[in-house]
A and B are shown apart, each in its own frame.
Chain A
Amino acid sequence: MSILNILSRTKLYWGLIAIFLIGVLGSPISSKGNNIFLSYGNLLDVLRQVSTTGLIATGMTAVIITGGIDLSVGSLMAICTVVCAMLLTVPGVTPAVVLGVPTVAVVALCLGILVTRFIFLNIEKSRAGSQATHDIRLDSVRGLVTPGIVGVVLCSLVLWFLLPQVGSKFGVLGVLLVAPCVGLLFGALNGFIIVAGRLQPFIVTLAMMVTALGIARLTAGQNNAVLPVYTGSNATADFEILRSLVFGVIPMPGLFFLGAILIYGAVLRFTPFGRYVYAIGGNEEAARLSGIAAGRVKIATYAVSGLLAGVAAVLYVAQYRQGKPDAGAGLELDAIAAVVIGGTSLMGGRGSLIGTFCGVLIFGLLSNILQLHNINSNLQLVLKGMIIIGTVLVQERNAVDFLFYLRLVFAPLWGGQAHKETTAAKRPSKETPSLNLGGNKK
């Protein structure tokens, strides 16, 4: 394997390193002679700024690997910020309580049932291995009764914790529990409709995006109220912990982002579930025929996507000290861009969370560099768009083909005939489309 091959295989990291080097070398110097880009504070800023998009992109990656897409994450985050802010600041039975508490109960119930069934299934498997097939006690409990009981117990435990808080303001712990659960429920609903209705993920999550925006506005009351958690509540003081530096090194939102990448990355890489996700993205029919419960796996990816949107919402409320119905507007597109820059294919089946991590950082560092140089914000948008296209061209290994086509298109301008069919046949591309772009057939 040549050095160039290695370089080509690791281009994502090189991309990240390159953009970092550009930042360092081209950074403005402060009046005290410090390199502003490289300053500790600036890098912390970047990590904190990308963490919300990063969490969303983390959930999005798995969804995209299965060949789907989740457009609703921005709105789901908006609902969760509203619920969070309302629970923290408004005492009494508010729309947020009506929405949040039953949701947590439902989620707890489902989780209880799922986990218990999983455990009993495994016990049954191991017993089968040891020939103890006629265990009556196990027979009676592995169905729905015992898991149901366990679920109900878990559910009542959660309610026992939450219900006393209804009527007063919820603490940070309660909010941390409620917001992700709301996200999880809506995400699972997305997945369920897609799977059960056999519908396109695009249209289902688009519909959910609109629905969720409406629910967020209804919950917030009035038309689009901003719910500040800054004044007149202890919530802010409690929430300081979510804005603080962990061990004085990493900002808490960044830690959540890194944690999500590591945990979900390990799940995708090392567990059967992760293998199923890739298999479904590669060929859903084949995956189903080989015994994978494709529907359940897909529902799970959407549910996790919603869950992470909920976590992002908590961090949003902590950072910006408010919740509002237009909180995550446009976030889904940023997340998709980061995922794609990170090498995940929108066709599904290919991609990784490490890639997404690099993609998110590349995007964040890029914004930071452009902003530090005070480049016109409209020009920034143009540059960002072009860089997305450029990166994806390199990612998809099509950059050379692209240049080749470009040459074909412009060939007539400088005298036509430059390329013959033979050149086209030697083209390095694997699947050469037989496009006649003019110039070579005169």
Chain B
Amino acid sequence: MKRRELLKLAAVTAALLTTTALLASGNAYAQDKKWKIGFSQVTTIEPWRAQFNKDILAEAAKHPEVELIVTDGEDKTEKQVADVENLIRQEVDALLVSPKESAGLTGVVQQAIDAKIPVFVLDRNVETKDYTQFVGGDNKLIGRAAGEYAVELLGGKGKAAGNVVEIWGGMGTQPAHDRHDGFHEFTGKEPGIKYLLDQQSGDWKQDQAYNIMATALRNNEKIDLVYGHNDPMAYGAYLAAKDAGREKDIKFIGIDGLPNEGVTLVNNGELTATFTYVTPGAEGLRQAIKFLNGEKVEKTITLPTEKITKENAAQILKDNGL
């Protein structure tokens, strides 16, 4: 009995010492860096967010004076708020936040502002105006570009006709509503266009879009165009149509245009077009460094979109080394 207890005690002590030593040695590095910048990301298990992280890390590698800390909110508001609180405690020189939801992150962003940390809000906005800068794409703009092209595909202005399936992102997220509104600014003017589904959400996911599309295909003899709020959903719809043997009759439009995702799909001829929604990763970090170096920055930076079709897809893939 005694020996067993001693063994236990020894094991626990050893474990304690190692952990402490490991943790203590961990923060000895990177003390010579000039700026410590924290970035709170929502999640990493989503292609666009992964690209986002890739972009910001690539940009950070170009700036040896910057130490970049990236946290993962695991797609939970609670976790992301805790992450930002942690970054504030670590006294970062600048804070980059890409909020999961506007309302949920507003409080903690305000807290960072109160702690005199410059805050750069990326991609999704918060409900306060005191932050340093907002960098993000304009979903409405992209929706408009998609809508304009859809009208063109369906027969041109004033004559466009056809049955359209629109697969929403999330009903609770602003990007989905913006992508919807922008799209309908163009397609809404065409009396020939009929919408088959009433606000079906695929939650940005390929598998859910597949199921929505499979049902739509069963219920409708004729579908001319599918508008997915992102590429994975457009591709999910494409797969459903392919399994039903009807993919040739339908045009598929997606959004986001990631090189290894949307662009590749367009290049393969599976999607008709996609519209880039550039991640604000690189630009956001550049702006933050600019601000830390004492330069003035604008309040809002809107990132442009690009239409990707079969014509320019191959070139873009080549530029990205794919």
Contact = CB atoms under 8 A, between A and B. Distances in A.
A321 B88 CA distance: 20
Contact of A320 (B23, B88, B107): B107
A5 B104 contact: no
Contacts of B4: 400, 428
Nearest to A36: B89
Interface string A357-380: 000000000011101111001100
Nearest to A329: B76
Task: Name the residue among B7, B69, B91, B203 with the largest chain A CB count within 10 angstroms.
Answer: B91
B6 interface: yes
Contacts of B69: 374
A103 B31 CA distance: 58
Interface stretch (A193-201, A228-236, A271-279): A228-236
A322 B23 contact: no
Interface in A289-343: 316, 319-322, 324, 327, 329-330
Contacts of B90: 28, 30, 36, 372
A287 interface: no
B261 interface: no
Given A30-B90, A52-B78, A225-B171, A231 B9 contact: no
Contacts of B82: 45, 49, 367, 371
Interface in B120-172: 127, 168, 170-172
Contacts of B203: 223-224
A45 B86 contact: yes
A237 interface: no
A222 interface: yes
Contacts of B173: 226
Interface stretch (A17-25, A107-115, A150-158, A178-186): A17-25
Contacts of A223: 168, 170-172, 199, 201, 203
Given A321-B106, A372-B86, A8 B172 contact: no
A39 interface: yes
Interface string A1-13: 0101101100000
A164 to B, nearest CB: 28
B20 interface: yes
Interface residues of B, number: 50
Given A222-B199, A321-B107, A372-B89, A377 B9 contact: no
A230 B127 contact: yes
B107 A368 contact: no
A360 to B, nearest CB: 14
A430 interface: no
Given A18-B16, A228-B103, A373-B23, A4 B172 contact: no
B72 A377 contact: yes
A26 interface: yes
Interface residues of A, number: 56
A229 B5 CA distance: 54
A396 to B, nearest CB: 13
Nearest to A370: B23
B14 interface: no
A324 B170 CA distance: 13
A29 interface: yes
B218 interface: no
B103 A226 contact: yes
Interface in A41-76: 41-42, 45, 49, 52
A140 interface: no
A14 B2 CA distance: 19
Contacts of B8: 8, 394, 399-400
Contacts of A29: 27
A72 to B, nearest CB: 19
B244 interface: no
Contacts of B172: 222-226, 324
Given A4-B5, A228-B103, A371 B86 contact: yes
Contacts of A45: 82, 85-86, 89
B322 interface: no
Interface string B1-40: 1101111110110001001101110110000000000000
A436 interface: no
Given A4-B5, A320-B104, A324-B172, A371 B83 contact: yes
Contacts of B107: 230, 243, 319-321
A45 B26 CA distance: 23
B74 interface: yes
A32 interface: yes
B103 A321 contact: yes
A369 B81 CA distance: 16
B86 A368 contact: yes
B103 to A, nearest CB: 3
B296 to A, nearest CB: 25
Interface string B49-61: 0000000000000
Contacts of A422: none
Task: Name the residue among B44, B72, B78 with the largest chain A CB count within 10 angstroms.
Answer: B78
Contacts of A371: 71, 82-83, 86
A230 B9 contact: no
Contacts of A329: 76
Given A52-B78, A329-B76, A322 B12 contact: no
Contacts of B102: 228
A231 B8 CA distance: 55
A135 B2 CA distance: 65
A41 B89 contact: yes
A27 B69 CA distance: 16
Contact of A28 (B16, B27, B171): B27
Contacts of B201: 223-224
Nearest to A227: B103
B71 A25 contact: no
Task: Name the residue among B1, B168, B171 with the largest chain A CB count within 10 angstroms.
Answer: B171
B77 interface: yes
A22 B23 contact: yes
A434 interface: no
Task: Name the residue among A8, A42, A368, A373 with the largest chain B CB count within 10 angstroms.
Answer: A373
Contacts of B27: 28-29, 373
B178 interface: no
Contact of B2 (A4, A7, A321, A327): A4
Interface of B: 1-2, 4-9, 11-12, 16, 19-20, 22-24, 26-27, 44, 69, 71-72, 74, 76-78, 81-83, 85-86, 88-91, 101-104, 106-107, 127, 168, 170-173, 199, 201, 203
Given A26-B26, A42-B89, A377-B72, 5 more contacts: A2-B2, A14-B12, A22-B16, A319-B81, A329-B76
15 contacts: A4-B5, A22-B20, A26-B19, A223-B199, A224-B171, A228-B101, A230-B106, A231-B127, A324-B172, A330-B76, A367-B82, A371-B71, A377-B71, A378-B44, A394-B12
The 10 closest A-B pairs by CB, nearest first: A26-B23, A228-B103, A377-B72, A223-B171, A322-B103, A4-B5, A222-B171, A28-B27, A226-B172, A320-B104
